[in-house]
Amino acid sequence: MSSGCSVPSAFNFCLSCDIDIPVSVKLEGLQGCLPVLRPGGAADGFFSESVAVFVVAELISGDERIGLTAFSNYADCSLGGAIWKNPWLTFCVKYRDLGPDSRLAFSLWQVVISGSWSLVGGCTLPLFNRRGQLHTGLQRLHIWEGLGPCVQTPTTTPGRIPKPTTSEVERLESLLARFDVDSSSSSPWMNALAFQTLARFQAEDAEKWVGRHELRLNVFLPIFKYPVLYHRFPYSAPTSDGVGGGG
């Protein structure tokens, strides 16, 4: 995806106010077993196709929703999770219009064979870290079962839960994502070896989540050529002669 950062190559970062494209997020998949499919659950014993899930995503700034709510399509769910066929969700808000506390709120919903639908859980994901840098790449988010996303600050439903160490698969995914943006940093033979290793790690990781009584929503945030730092042009109120209001 094009970064939209019109800065000289001598700089190693760009500003959020320069990115004139809509905010978007890709649903990479759901991992883990839904409560309804676990032993004793309402759909226990039915075929996996009897349960479907969908995601509702909102952009939040302060305590208010900004822009329109985004809805995913339905995805059939199994003991190992779900994969969406049309995974991209795009908002009407552009990166340049985001506030420093902007965050994504995700709600996971399920539809069972009877046709009834209910909330599975939710989580939130800040778009900028504490240093004001835009989060990019794959994000593995914990779903808080039985709870909708808490949009207050601090949130009680954080998607990113601190871990003592970063797994090999996460480190390799981050490295390859950066190579994909800057193709000059990679070579064909190294890419082939790295992707083979990544595929093996991902298969092993996915196997661990089959039937697991925990849910993880994997989402992908667009990667830009340079790190993106939050910045917003100051707004000056228009004067009586009509001058001002720039930004």
Q: Region of 236 please: left (phi>0), alpha (psi -120 to 50) or beta.
A: beta
The model's pLDDT over 155-164, given as tens digits with 9 standing for 90+, comes to 999 999 876 5
Report whether 106 contacts 124 (CB < 8 A): yes
- Across the chain, mean pLDDT equals 81
pLDDT, tens digit, for every residue of 111-164?
987 778 899 999 999 999 999 999 998 899 999 999 999 999 899 999 998 765
**Spatial separation of the C-alpha atoms in residues 110 and 121, rounded to whole Å:** 10
The larger pLDDT score, comparing residue 179 to residue 91, is at 91
For residue 146, being part of any structural domain is answered with: yes
Q: Using 50, 70 and 90 to split pLDDT, how confident is the model at 165?
A: low
For residue 222, tell me if it sits in a domain.
yes
Q: List, in sequence order, every residue forming a beta bridge with 96; answer none if it has no partner.
A: none
SS3 state at 53: strand
Tell me the average pLDDT across 174-188. 57
Q: How many domains does the chain have?
A: 1
Which pTM value belongs to this model?
Answer: 0.79
Give CA–CA dist 35/58, Å, rounded: 24
- Residue 1 belongs to a domain: no
- Residue 120 within any structural domain of the chain: yes
187-239 pLDDT, tens per residue?
Answer: 665 566 666 766 676 677 777 877 788 999 999 999 998 899 999 876 555 55
Rounded Cα–Cα distance for residues 106 and 123 (Å)? 5
CA atoms of 227 and 135, how far apart (whole Å): 9
Higher pLDDT, 98 or 178: 98
Alpha-carbon dihedral 6, 10, 14, 15, rounded to 10 degrees: -90
- Find the CATH number of the domain harbouring 222: 2.60.40.150
Token duo for residue 125: 């994901």
Q: 219: which residues sit within 8 A by CB, 6+ positions away?
A: 25, 26, 27, 28, 104, 106, 125, 138, 139, 141
> Is 133 inside a domain boundary?
yes
The answer to the question of residue 30 being in a domain is yes
Token readout for 240 is 């009586």
Residue 4 belongs to a domain = no
247 in a structural domain: no
Q: What is the residue range of 80's domain?
A: 14-229
pLDDT, mean of residues 30-53:
74
